[in-house]
Chain A
Amino acid sequence: KAGVTQTPRYLIKTRGQQVTLSCSPISGHRSVSWYQQTPGQGLQFLFEYFSETQRNKGNFPGRFSGRQFSNSRSEMNVSTLELGDSALYLCASSLGQGLSEQYFGPGTRLTVT
């Protein structure tokens, strides 16, 4: 089975712009979670989607949004980028029910200048 894929792997944006990141989960996985990883902060949970519905949300401003498609692929959007949004954004997929171990993608490195 193919693993979790994320595109693009690297991105450089300017303050004020918006960005869309994509995540394709492992085949058969219906849950996709997004995390922001920064040095010293570890992984901060953004949100989780299951069967096209947002099931869980972390403490991030409304500039961060996401969605999930019928094929379980998910996108994350950040509008009005700020310098502090520079981070590694990780996507994780899981079956989403019961004990659901998460499998992570390689991440998208976003740099905001």
Chain B
Amino acid sequence: AQTVTQSQPEMSVQEAETVTLSCTYDTSENNYYLFWYKQPPSRQMILVIRQEAYKQQNATENRFSVNFQKAAKSFSLKISDSQLGDTAMYFCAFMKSYSGTYKYIFGTGTRLKVLA
């Protein structure tokens, strides 16, 4: 069975600094997708970035980038130039599509606080 582990329950970073959130997963599948979701204190979960496992190139979205290490089953999120609005809960998620349906598994989240 697939599992997703986020080993950092809480983190803090100074405004304008860089922070990396870690995520590891366990799967025997070869083709899958990985996501980072952000849940600000207002609770609406939004997609930050996604990575297809078959792509070797790390995904990047503005200040957000990932370090995807498929062999190590690691999928970390790097936030550059941290802003106060980045304060949120961040969830790593694994998704596998199969037989006309799909399965999402989420980690337990990392609470990030950006300090002024």
The interface of chain A, by Cβ under 8 A from chain B, is 3, 33, 35, 40-43, 45, 48, 50, 55-56, 88, 90, 92, 97-107
Contacts and interface: CB of A to CB of B under 8 A. Distances in A.
A92 B42 CA distance: 16
A40 B109 CA distance: 8
A42 B44 contact: no
Nearest to A3: B44
10 contacts: A33-B104, A40-B108, A41-B108, A45-B104, A50-B101, A56-B103, A92-B45, A98-B97, A102-B47, A107-B43
B84 interface: no
Contacts of A98: 97
Interface residues of B, number: 23
B105 interface: yes
Given A56-B101, A92-B45, A103-B47, 13 more contacts: A42-B106, A42-B107, A42-B108, A45-B103, A45-B104, A48-B101, A55-B101, A99-B33, A100-B97, A101-B50, A106-B42, A106-B43, A106-B44
Q: Which 7 A-B pairs have the closest CB atoms?
A: A104-B45, A42-B108, A43-B106, A55-B101, A106-B44, A42-B106, A107-B43
B86 interface: no
B75 interface: no
Residue of A35, A45, A102, A107 with most partner-chain B CB within 10 A:
A102
Contacts of B108: 40-42
A90 B108 CA distance: 15
Interface string B47-85: 100101000000000000000000000000000000000
B25 interface: no
Contacts of A55: 100-101
Given A40-B108, A43-B91, A101 B47 contact: yes
A3 B46 CA distance: 11
Nearest to B47: A101
Nearest to A35: B106
